[in-house]
Amino acid sequence: VERSFGWVNRFRRLARDYERLPETLAGLHFVAFTILMLGNAATLFQSS
C-alpha cells in the first residue's frame, strides 16, 4: 500500500489537495491508479 501511495505522488495534481470537490479528487485517484496498473500490465504482457 505504501508503495502505491509513492507511485501516486508522482502525479502533481495528487501531491497536494487542490481540488474543491471530493468527487474530483477521487476521480483523479482512479485515473492515476488506472494509468499505473495499465503500465504494469503492459510490462507483464511484454515479458511473457
Asked whether the whole model's pTM tops 0.75, one would answer no
DSSP single-letter state for residue 17: T
Q: Give CA–CA dist 16/12, Å, rounded.
A: 7
Cβ(10)–Cβ(16) below 8 Å: no
- pLDDT of 45: 87
- pLDDT of 48: 67
Each residue's pLDDT expressed in tens, for the chain with a length of 48 residues: 788 778 777 887 777 778 889 999 899 889 989 998 998 899 888 886
Element housing 40 (H / E): helix 22-47
Q: Which of 25, 30, 28, 33 is nearest to 7 (CA)?
A: 33
